[in-house]
Structure 1
Amino acid sequence: MLKFTVKILAPSNHGRRRFLSVLESAAHSQIQPPISEFPKKSNLSSLPTCKNISQLRKLHCELIVNGSISELSTANKILHSYTLHADLESAYALFSDITAKNSYFWSVMIGGFARAGDFSAVAEFLGTILLHGFVYKRGFSSYTFVAAALVDMYAKCKVIGDAGKVFVEMPERDLVSWTVMIGACTECGSAEEGLELFDRMREGGIAPDKVAMVNVVNASAKLGSMRRARDVGDYVKMMGFSLDVILGTALIDMFARCGSLELAREVFDGMRERNVVSWSTMIAAYGYHGEGREALDLFGMMLGNGVLPNNITFVSLFHACSHSGLVDEGLEIFSRMQEKYRVRPDVKHFTCVVDLIHGDVELAEKAATSLLELQPRNAGHYILLSNIYAKAGRWKEVAKVRELMTRQRIKKIPGWTWIEVDDKIHKFGVGDHTHDRSREIYEQLKQLREKLELAGYVPDTNFVLHDIDDELKLDILHTHSEKLAIAFGLIATPEATPIRITKNLRVCGDCHTFIKFVSLITKRLLVVRDANRFHHFNDGACSCSDYW
């Protein structure tokens, strides 16, 4: 019987002490209130007693913690109070966070800026509200450059529907219009649509420039299709575009995110000029492919070339160490980033370091709790803490975390897995029966599970983070989205060909073990891109060496 083990490296005692001391100092330096205990529901009854801006900010923090600020009426009152106290910076920050802005919010902000005498801001706000109507009323929408500006405005406001409507109604579309719309689709999560627009643009006889190609490369990177990435890379070569810092860095990221470190490094080595973003992107590429030592070596080369690291560089390095089991190396870099390189750790860095020490439940719990203090509205931190408690079997604490998420109206992102077959993207959720070949998929999964269990695979129900009986846990575990996608890949692709899937969340431990056995039994290469990294499964082993 084959047996797979998961390696967990704990940091040294010195590393633990160093990390905790930095973490505590960072947490105390933030203005967010601590969440040392689950807060009780707060209300606005104390708003009239807020005599100064300090008291108002304190109330605002309480409302953030208990989730009340997500209610429009509550946000309205706090926003108005900020403008009355002439704290327009805080008012604008709150205004920017509100996704469903109604006319009241706009009126309050305009009135606040007017009372403060900031008439340029008043003009800007009025311009945003009235611009589109004025343009259409005056007939300016017939001018291509004006319509393109409207598309760009809506895209930057993440209102992709209105951007698309303006774009479709344009009497004539030039290169700028196509470029803006492709970028808008990519930024708003419709990378595939952005690439379809690129194809239509070329079919219409419009040749892209380098700016347009950067948008196309970014869309391809987000889509994650290796076939598409190769096509885009070949097109860049055919058009003779030079690999400057912007386009070259985008290509590095595209090839790495689509699964090819070799092509990413080829682009990196071919660039005549590289800046800190280029180096950091290549370091990150090694990181999420599990090549931690190569990432550290490249960091040394970067310093040797006189390029100073920034905050992005350290995020890339921490990911690389986390995905390669380099715990002490990661903590050592963490301790030096502020002292030696003058880069202050932020929430992203702390999140990476928590990921680095996930095998140490006590330390991970302290770190995750501190992350909640820094960002009380980040759903990922709650899930991280819940997972830590669930792994330790502390179900009461799991229930408390989920209760707090419910009270604050924070929702967990649902898990999805994609697979590309015959130039078509197929999407699966847990327990999904919507695919037109679902019956075949579940039959294949049943046969596959029987073969794997004979080879030694034992389902690990610890990764079902619910306090339910084992039979229900098995039902959930057996139908995880990545398993459904792989089963479909086995019946929909020729034998011996690689299977590539993408998941929007981190792959769970049981699925990781399951896929290792699949690669052994089927003799297939399986490439899994999850939210954190790439896993290359071959002959019963994974390239990550069980660190992820």
Structure 2
Amino acid sequence: MSVFNALIALYMKCEASEAPWAARKVLDEMPNKDDLTWTTMVVGYVESSCLDKAAEVFNEMPYKNELSWMVMVSGYVHGGLSEDALKLFNQMRAEDAKPCDYTYAGAIAACGELGALKHGKQLHGHLVQLGFEASNSAGNALITMYAKCGAVSDAHLVFLVMPNVDSVSWNAMISALGQHGHGREALELFDQMIAKGIYPDRISFLTVLTACNHAGLVDEGFQYFESMKREFGIIPGEDHYARLIDLLGRAGRIGEAKDLIKTMPFEPTSSIWEAILSGCRTNGDIELGAYAADQLFKMTPQHDGTYILLSNTYSAAGRWVDAAKVRKLMRDRGVKKEPGCSWIEVGNSVHVFLVSDTNHPEAQEIYQFLEMVGAKMRKLGYVPDTKVVLHDMGPHQKEQILSAHSERLAVGFGLLKLSPGATVTVLKNLRICSDCHTAMMFMSKAVGREIVVRDVRRFHHFKDGECSCGNYW
């Protein structure tokens, strides 16, 4: 049996693409299989990102031990299958298996990805009942979950009451503050971490640079970037350079970003060129943007974001023919644009909306409500910014498209269904457009409610006609 297990473990650690299948063949030929055999297979498939095969073996296991449950839940989360992770976790509890703190951490992480705050709070309660509140893995997962669900104050409370915090805890809390627009507070916390003798790692500096990026703290970003090697002996990687270049580009300092590229000890990677292209879109530098896009077409030809950013750069400059050429190139190469969607948790359900969605059972009521709120917003001074609709069509058509963006439909549903005065929290898979950002500010004032939107980059807290990002994002 030990020989069979050794063969499986060996195959699973090989990088060759056929290795996992060879391990499966060994498993099938074994006369008897013990827990170690099954678990080794599950772990190996998860580490090889073969989640379907991992699930197949997992379901065949006559007895599922604690490690196999934990590995599968965590594997689903890291594989972007958070719903499957929660389903599996609930199945585990239904079968009276006892989750360990690491398995709870995986389920809590899944709640954070889905924005399922109510479920996450329930799991937090279970942790306390089981005596896992002292677990660093669970505590760190809670910080991240609360932050990703828009409850940054709850994340901070977890951080403060944790009996033992490590560098992961500090990094998670610094990241949470940065995501929610509290850039100065994030930098203060980073300084506190160092003062307490916690040695920062490369992730610590990524979180700090991201916090500077969200708050437009360019000079501070440079200072922390330079201190990495000088004070802590950490060599900046491509991700650190990309954060700093993105910070410069968004601040309108694209020339300095170009100069920074020349000083890098390696050739620009796709993340570097993405940061340059994004900065060019913000600053209207078409020539450099086109060059950056060409580099990305060579490196990642199937990435939809490159085509969208370049097309939008041309459209914003009124170069409709060039924009159309980029979209045609995208179609010819079979690249599909990720559809924008937004979702909101109401009651025990998550409601998902697409742009101009009419499939929701209460769509008509939502549109009528938004029209009524829109009239109030206009009286307060809201004027739709039709320039963000990068298609050659009439102003009225553009306004109709803007008013039916997925985040507006989700917010409208939340305002209708949540209790009066409750904060409306919506999650979006893409970046919020500038007109929706303005509309949310006016909407928060028109209805007297706080509205929170988590887009792909950060959180926006809209309250009394203002946003936590200070219109910088």
**TM-score > 0.5 by shorter chain:** yes
The farther-off stretch of 132-141 and 181-190 is 132-141
Match of 2:4 in 1: none
Whether 1:532 aligns to 2:457 is yes
Amino acid at match of 2:383: V
Aligned to 2:192: 301
Please list every run of 5 or more consecutive structure 1 residues that lacks an aligned counterpart in the other structure.
1-118
Please report how far the alpha carbon of residue 361 of structure 1 lies from its aligned counterpart in structure 2 after TM superposition.
7.9
Q: 1:408 to 1:189 in 2, by over 3 A?
A: same
Q: Which of 177, 194, 198 matches 2:85?
A: 194
2:339 counterpart SS class: coil
CA distance in 2, matches of 1:329, 1:450: 42
1: distance between equivalents of 2:170 and 2:178?
Answer: 12
Q: What are the residue-to-residue correspondences of 1:84-103 with 2, within 5 Å? A: none
* Structure 2 residue aligned with 1:290: 181
1:234-280 CA distances to partner (integer Å, 9 max, x unpaired)? 22222112535433322221221122222222232334444433322
- 1:423-456 deviation per Cα after TM superposition (whole angstroms, max 9, x unaligned): 1111111122221222222222222222322222
Give the Cα–Cα distance (whole angstroms) in 1 for the partners of residues 169 and 357 of structure 2. 40
Aligned-partner residue type, residue 447 of structure 2: T
Shift in alpha-carbon separation, 1:320–1:362, aligned structure 2, 3 A = closer
Q: Which residue number in structure 2 is paired with residue 264 of structure 1?
A: 155
CA displacement, residues 9-40 of structure 1 (integer Å, 9 cap, x when unaligned): xxxxxxxxxxxxxxxxxxxxxxxxxxxxxxxx
* Cα distance per residue 1:360-393 (max 9 Å; x no partner): 2854227865587478315445544554554454
Which residue pairs with 1:376 in the alignment?
A: 299
Equivalent residue of 1:357, what SS? helix
Task: Give SS of 2:299's match.
Answer: coil
Which segments of structure 1 move beyond 6 Å, counting only runs of 4 or more?
119-124
Instruction: Tell me: higher relative CO, structure 1 or 2? Use CA pairs within 8 A at least 6 residues apart.
Output: 1
- Residue 187 of structure 1 deviates from its aligned partner by 2.1
Distance 1:120 1:159 in 2: 11
Letter in 2 for 1:481: S
Measure how far apart 1:316 and its partner are.
1.2
Which secondary structure does the structure 2 equivalent of 1:500 belong to?
strand
> What runs of 5+ residues in structure 2 fail to find an aligned partner?
1-10, 256-278
Most deviating of 517-526 and 267-276: 267-276
2:344 counterpart of 1:344: no
1:506 counterpart letter in structure 2: R
The answer to whether the aligner puts 1:437 opposite 2:362 as a matched pair is: yes
State the identity as a percent: 36
Q: Distance in 2 between matches of 1:139 and 1:430?
A: 55
Contact 1:526 1:536 in 2 (8 A): yes
The higher radius of gyration belongs to: 1
SS of the aligned residue for 1:418 comes to: strand
Asked if the contact 2:181/2:459 (under 8 Å) is kept, the reply is: yes
Partner Cα distance (1:446, 1:310) in 2: 50
Q: Which aligned pairs between 1:330-409 and structure 2 lie closer than 5 A?
A: 330-341=221-232, 342-347=234-239, 349-351=241-243, 353-355=245-247, 357-358=249-250, 360=252, 363=255, 364-365=279-280, 373=295, 376-377=299-300, 378-395=303-320, 398-399=323-324, 401-402=326-327, 405-406=330-331, 409=334
The equivalent residue for 2:270 is none
Taking a change above 3 Å as real, the CA distance of residues 146 and 361 of structure 1, as seen in their structure-2 partners, is: same
Contact 1:372 1:382 in 2 (8 A): no
From 415, 424, 428, the counterpart of 1:499? 424
Q: Is the 8 A contact 1:322 1:547 kept in 2?
A: no
Q: 1:121 to 1:329 in 2, by over 3 A?
A: closer
Partner of 2:62: 171
Provide the rounded CA distance (Å) in 2 between the counterparts of 1:480 and 1:121. Answer: 46
Query: Does the aligned pair in 2 maintain the 1:255–1:261 contact within 8 Å?
Result: yes
Compute the TM-score of the two structures, normalised by the length of structure 2: 0.80
1:162 is aligned to 2:85: no
Where does residue 478 of structure 1 map in the other structure? Answer: 403
Question: Match of 1:458, SS?
Answer: coil
Corresponding residue of 2:6: none
Is structure 2 residue 22 aligned with structure 1 residue 130? yes
Alpha-carbon separation, structure 1, partners of 2:51 and 2:152: 33
Q: CA deviation at 1:226?
A: 1.7
Give the superposition deviation at 1:206. 1.6
Structure 1 residue matching 2:159: 3-state secondary structure:
helix
Change (3 A) 1:529 1:399: same
> For 2:304 and 2:222, how far apart are their aligned partners in 1?
25
Secondary structure (helix, strand or coil) at the match of 2:67 reads: helix
Question: Residue 214 in 1 paired to residue 78 in 2?
Answer: no
Distance 2:84 2:13 in 1: 35
Q: TM-score, normalised by structure 1?
A: 0.70
> By how many angstroms is 1:144 displaced?
4.4
CA displacement at 1:407 relative to structure 2: 5.6
Question: Alignment partner of 1:173: what SS?
Answer: coil
- Structure 2 counterpart of 1:498, one-letter code: T
How far off its partner does 1:223 sit? Answer: 1.8
**C-alpha distance 301-494 of structure 1, shift in aligned 2 (>3 A):** closer
- Cα separation, 2, equivalents of 1:148 and 1:295: 41
Does 2:41 correspond to 1:150?
A: yes
Which digits, 9 at most, give the CA deviation of each residue in 1:285-323, with x for residues without a partner?
110010000011112112223334333222211221222
CA separation of 1:505 and 1:139: change in aligned 2, threshold 3 A: farther
Asked if the contact 2:216–2:251 (Cα under 8 Å) also holds between the matched residues in 1, the reply is no
CA-based RMSD: 3.1
